[in-house]
Amino acid sequence: MSDNIKKLLSKLFESWCGEVPGKIEPLPAHGSDRKYFRLFGSNTTAIGAYNPDEKENTAFITFSRHFKSKGLAVPEIYAEDSANKVYLEQDLGDTTLFSFLSEKRKNKGFSDALISTYEKVIGQLPRFQIRGADGLDFSVCYPRARFDKQSMMWDLNYFKYYFLKLAKIPFDEQKLEDDFQTFTDFLLQAESDYFLYRDFQSRNVMLVDGEPWFIDYQGGRRGALQYDVASLLYDAKADIPKEIREHLLNCYTNALKKLTPVDEQTFRDYYYGYVYVRIMQALGAYGFRGFYERKTHFLKSVPFAIRNLEDLLHQVQLPIEIPALRAAWSALVRSTFLRQIADVNLRLTVRIQSFSYKRGIPWDERGHGGGFVFDCRLLPNPGREEKYKRMTGEDKPVTKFLQAKPEVDTFLKNTFAVVDQAVENYRQRNFTDLMVAFGCTGGQHRSVYCANRLRDHLKEKYGVDVEVRHREQE
């Protein structure tokens, strides 16, 4: 089969540029039946594609030519042989946004250079959605011309049968179906006369001389603005940090405002619903490829998707009642099996707070509701001495006072031992959030000192991410 495809592509290449390719190299397989090759001429190269799905080919080629006419950064279609299901397109190289991200992140984390690249990508998206939709022949969309209720139900049932069932997550089928209806009815209230890319994620963006080019939009159709930006920012393996994700969402809405009026609150109300549906679609795909087809590398994305789902459950409240669906999401988040399903290590963040018991124990509004609260009121109180009253546990005289007390050292050793055990267990199980709170009478001296000592201990011993908040000092 492969040799025959090469012959067809070679003939097409010759008809396009007037020479037989000197070399044809297969490119890495995708998660579909499409096959790609790089063809080399004496002075040029091209990407050859074979896809047995004629309707998908028609969509891709039609969209490519239309987007090109709108000045969008997509590959030029050089030649096609629709009868034999092959075509040639512009060679954009080998650097995807995901490969660039993976390489840069090894040494510098999510650096300014990475953020800048994502800003370029996210800034181009509204042009596809609005200008790209203008005059586009949506009749060639495949398999449907709109991301409508039917499309959403396909995704949700894909999630139900290929992920929930295969991952052995229990659910009430009728109640879940009822919630699917409620959920899709809510999503369909968002305006949806835009081009929906459908698979707008880091592997479908190429970088050429640092500038983004876009591929794999053959599944595009009419739909809401929120879906594609949700796809990029919640791309599981890209693992974009929360604060950067929020920054990029703001960059997107600013770019969008240049093309169309935007009510940001309304946009965000629907945005998080589309984040949920995109995560479920992705989990369905991972389950089908990983659990069902036994292509286990697809399962490496599952722990990242579960972590994103956990963040959403604790930070976002949708304006609809979907108890069965929320119960299924919660069961996924609680599953140690799914967090450890692949050889990946999610970063643990330990959030440390100091507080005053007069104002009450702090509520864990961002995590899973677990962790520790330590009562520092049993320790010697520098606040009883006049010279320390206006100081805090971050001032040197106070720290020296507490360091000199052996009972403080004993208390911290015991505290560190308990927290260390949790950190080691959480890291092993791919949990991503742990909260530790220290309280004293005023939240000023002892609790602040102990919180800072734990921060220094964890950074030195484990290198985990640590966030410190001194509540009463704000």
Same domain, 50 and 182: no
What are 433-451's pLDDT values in tens digits? 899 999 999 999 999 999 9
Same domain, 186 and 331: yes
Decide: residue 30, CB within 10 A, 0-12 exposed, 13-18 middle, 19+ buried. exposed
Distances (CA, A) of 240 to 105, 118, 251, 264: 11, 10, 15, 22
Q: Are 50 and 8 in contact (CB under 8 A)?
A: yes
Same domain, 246 and 157: yes
Instruction: Pull the structure tokens for residue 8.
Output: 């067809």
Same domain, 103 and 238: yes
- Which CATH number characterizes residue 191's domain? 3.90.1200.10
pLDDT for residue 105: 86
Q: What is the C-alpha separation between 61 and 82, in angstroms, rounded?
A: 10
Name the domain boundary from 309, 339, 369. 339
pLDDT at 334 > cutoff 80 = yes
Q: How many domains does the chain have?
A: 3
What integer is the mean pLDDT of 108-129?
Answer: 94
Same domain, 379 and 319: no
Same domain, 163 and 32: no
pLDDT for residue 369: 61
For the chain, state the CA radius of gyration.
Answer: 27
Q: 74 lies in a domain?
A: yes
Q: 362 lies in a domain?
A: yes
Q: 344 lies in a domain?
A: no
Helix (H) or strand (E) holding 31: none
Same domain, 318 and 387: no
Instruction: Pull the structure tokens for residue 467.
Output: 């966030």
What are 292-329's pLDDT values in tens digits? 888 888 898 999 999 999 989 988 999 999 999 999 99
Same domain, 82 and 104: no
Q: Which residues of 145-166 are buried (b: 16+ CB within 10 A; e: fewer)?
A: eebeeebbeebbebbbebbbee
Same domain, 195 and 47: no
The helix/strand/coil state of 96 is strand
Q: 368 lies in a domain?
A: yes
Peptide linkage before 143 cis (omega within 30 of 0)? yes
Same domain, 76 and 131: no
Same domain, 65 and 104: no
Mean model confidence pLDDT for the chain: 94
* Host domain of residue 129: 97-339
Q: 44 lies in a domain?
A: yes
- Which CATH number characterizes residue 60's domain? 3.30.200.20
Same domain, 144 and 26: no
Q: What is the C-alpha separation between 311 and 300, in angstroms, rounded?
A: 19
**pTM, entire model:** 0.78
Name the domain boundary from 89, 116, 137. 89
What are 383-432's pLDDT values in tens digits? 999 999 999 999 999 999 999 999 999 999 999 999 999 999 998 888 88
Residue 467 has phi, psi (to 5 degrees) of -115, 130
Name the domain boundary from 318, 339, 360. 339
Q: 276 lies in a domain?
A: yes
What are 232-284's pLDDT values in tens digits? 999 988 889 889 999 999 999 999 999 999 999 999 999 999 999 999 999 99
Helix (H) or strand (E) holding 30: none
At 107, is the pLDDT very low, low, confident or very high (cuts 50, 70, 90)?
confident
Per the DSSP assignment, residues forming a β-bridge with 468 are: 352
pLDDT for residue 366: 63
Q: How many CB atoms lie within 10 A of CB 22?
A: 9
Q: 54 lies in a domain?
A: yes
